[in-house]
Structure 1
Amino acid sequence: MKTALSLITLLAVTTGCSHRAVYENVQINQRNDCANEPPSTYFECLDRANKSFEEYQRERKDLLENPESDGKLP
């Protein structure tokens, strides 16, 4: 997984891909990794992997603006 992610990141940087394209490629890898999850956590894994790019950007922005929150709601 780390090798694939590194390769995708390298390709994205060298080919000038957008952030969305990189995110979507990582998302595909995450979905593929869900196949290795036990049946009891498979759908949770897919839910995490299917987060929209817009939702990802909002969460990322919130974390960058409020690093002490650690992504947890009050």
Structure 2
Amino acid sequence: MMNVTKTLYLLLVCVLVAGCSSKAVYDNVQRNNRQECVSVPPPQYDECIQCSSKSYEEYERDRSEVLKSEP
């Protein structure tokens, strides 16, 4: 499990270095998070999927609001 996680993070770093857009990186991280939901207990599966299903546009909107509210 740790090797898979390390591999995914290494892949993510490679993608970032290659200059992919923020949206592509976000989408890949969300996809990986959804794949990890398979390994959680059934009662937590729906919550896990819901947490990893926010669109990039929703993420950006929420992020902008947080950044505006910071001094």
Same fold (TM over 0.5): yes
Instruction: For structure 2, list consecutive stretches of 5 or more residues without a partner in the other structure.
Output: none
Identical aligned residues as a percent: 39
Structure with more of its chain in helix, by fraction:
2
The CA deviation string for residues 8-64 of structure 1, in whole angstroms up to 9 with x for no partner, is 1x2222211000100011011100111111111101110111111100111111122
Instruction: For structure 1, list consecutive stretches of 5 or more residues without a partner in the other structure.
Output: 69-74
**TM-score in terms of structure 1 length:** 0.76
> How many residue pairs were aligned?
66
**TM-score in terms of structure 2 length:** 0.79
1 or 2 for the larger relative contact order (CA 8 Å, sep ≥6)?
A: 2
In structure 2, the residue matched to 1:25 is: 28
Could you list the structure 1 runs, at least 4 aligned residues long, displaced by more than 2 angstroms after superposition. none
